[in-house]
C-alpha cells in the first residue's frame, strides 16, 4: 500500500543535513521525505510540484556541500529505497543500496568494472547520477539500465551505454535515479577481477583519506594547455596540504580532499575553497571548478 506523503510529517522529520552528509556540514531543510519505493517517491514529486515546493534529491550525501543556513524547500532522500535482485545475466539494485556492498560482491556476481571501484562511498543512485569512478573504471561501464522519475515525475526505465555518460556526469540531470541494472559477464576471470579489486583497494587506501569525513574530491581536474591536470597535484604544488580554516582542512594525504577535522561548518569549507582557488590561480594560472554539488 503506497501512502500519500504528509507535509506535516516531512516537516517534523527534517534534521540538519550535517547528519546526512559525509562532510558533516549543512543546515536543516523545511521538509524531509524518505520514500521507500519508486511509487512513494513519485507521490512526493507530484505533491511538491502541486504545492510549488522546490525539491532536491539526496543520495548518500557523499558528494555534497550544503550551506549552514536553513534550506528552503524539500529534500527527498533515497536511503530507504532498498533492494537487490540477482538474475542470471543482471543485478538490479535500488537507489538506496550501499554501493560499496555491490563493489565488494562484484567478483562473485561477475559484474564488470565494479572491481575497479572500491573506496567510492555512496548510494547506487548517487554513483549512477554522478558516474563515479576513477583510474580503474567507472560505474557507467557496468550499467545496462537505469530507472527513475523524470523532472515531471514520470517513471522511466532507460537502456544505457557507457558513451551516454560523461566525466562525473550522467544523462539524468533533473531526474531522480531510483535504481540501476548492472551487467553480469560470466566470461570474466574471477582471479583477474579479484586481483584488480585488491590492487585498486590498496592504491586507494595509500593515496586517499578514506576514513576521514570528506566529500571526496572537491574540485574537478582542470584542463591545462597540454591536457587535464590533477587538481590534487596542483593544490599540493601550491603548498596547501594541511591548510586549515576553522574545522576544515586540506588533506595531508591527497590535496583535492577537504576533510572535516572536527566541528567544521559549511562556512569554514567555503572559506578554505576560496583560499585554495586563489592560491592555485596565482601559482598555476588555472581556475579550479567545484566537483561536489553545492546546495545553499
Q: Under the rule (CB under 6 A), what is the footprint of ligand EPU?
A: 134-135, 207, 216-217, 220-221, 230-233, 236, 254-256, 291
Residues 6+ apart with CB under 8 A from 7: 31, 47, 51
Of 232 and 247, the one with the shorter C-beta distance to ligand EPU is: 232
Which one, 71 or 215, has the nearer CB to ligand EPU? 215
Q: Are 147 and 41 in contact (CB under 8 A)?
A: no
Report residue 116 as a C-alpha cell: 575497479
The dihedrals phi and psi of 151, each to the nearest 5 degrees, come to: -60, -25
Cβ-proximal residues to 187 (8 Å cutoff; 6+ apart), any chain = none
Identity of the residue, 213 or 254, whose beta carbon is nearer to ligand EPU in the bound complex: 254
Give, in order, the Cα–Cα distances in Å from 256 to each of 34, 38, 86, 146, 289. 32, 35, 36, 30, 12
Q: Which is nearer to ligand EPU, 13 or 233 (CB)?
A: 233
Beta-carbon contacts of 262 under 8 Å, excluding residues fewer than 6 positions away, are 247
Cα distance between residue 174 and residue 57, in whole Å = 9
Residue pointed to by grid coordinates 519505493: 37
Amino acid at each position: 500500500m503506497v501512502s500519500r506523503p504528509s507535509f506535516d510529517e516531512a516537516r517534523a522529520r527534517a534534521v540538519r543535513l550535517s547528519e546526512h552528509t559525509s562532510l558533516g556540514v549543512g543546515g536543516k531543510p523545511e521538509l524531509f521525505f524518505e520514500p521507500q519505493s519508486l511509487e512513494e517517491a513519485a507521490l512526493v514529486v507530484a505533491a511538491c510540484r502541486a504545492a510549488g515546493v522546490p525539491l532536491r534529491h539526496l543520495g548518500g550525501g557523499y558528494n555534497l556541500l550544503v550551506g549552514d543556513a536553513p534550506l528552503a524547500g524539500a529534500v527527498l532522500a533515497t536511503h530507504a529505497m532498498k533492494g537487490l535482485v540477482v538474475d542470471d545475466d543482471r543485478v538490479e539494485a535500488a537507489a538506496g543500496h550501499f554501493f560499496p556492498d555491490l563493489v565488494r560482491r562484484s567478483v562473485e556476481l561477475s559484474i564488470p568494472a565494479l572491481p575497479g571501484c572500491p573506496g567510492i562511498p555512496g548510494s547506487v543512485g548517487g554513483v549512477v547520477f554522478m558516474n563515479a569512478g576513477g583510474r580503474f573504471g567507472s560505474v557507467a561501464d557496468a550499467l545496462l539500465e537505469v530507472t527513475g522519475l523524470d523532472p515531471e515525475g514520470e517513471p522511466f526505465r532507460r537502456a544505457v551505454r557507457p558513451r551516454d555518460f560523461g566525466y562525473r556526469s550522467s544523462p539524468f540531470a533533473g531526474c531522480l535515479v531510483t535504481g540501476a541494472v548492472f551487467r553480469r559477464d560470466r566470461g570474466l576471470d574471477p582471479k583477474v577481477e579479484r586481483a584488480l579489486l585488491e590492487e585498486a583497494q590498496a592504491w586507494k587506501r595509500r593515496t586517499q583519506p578514506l576514513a576521514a569525513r570528506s566529500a571526496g574530491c572537491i574540485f574537478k581536474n582542470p584542463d591545462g594547455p597540454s591536457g587535464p591536470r590533477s587538481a590534487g597535484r596542483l593544490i599540493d604544488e601550491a603548498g596547501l596540504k594541511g591548510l586549515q580554516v576553522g574545522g576544515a582542512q586540506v588533506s595531508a594525504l591527497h590535496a583535492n580532499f577537504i576533510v572535516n577535522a572536527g566541528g567544521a561548518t559549511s562556512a569554514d569549507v567555503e572559506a578554505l575553497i576560496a583560499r585554495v582557488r586563489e592560491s592555485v590561480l596565482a601559482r598555476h594560472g588555472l581556475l579550479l571548478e567545484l566537483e561536489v554539488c553545492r546546495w545553499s
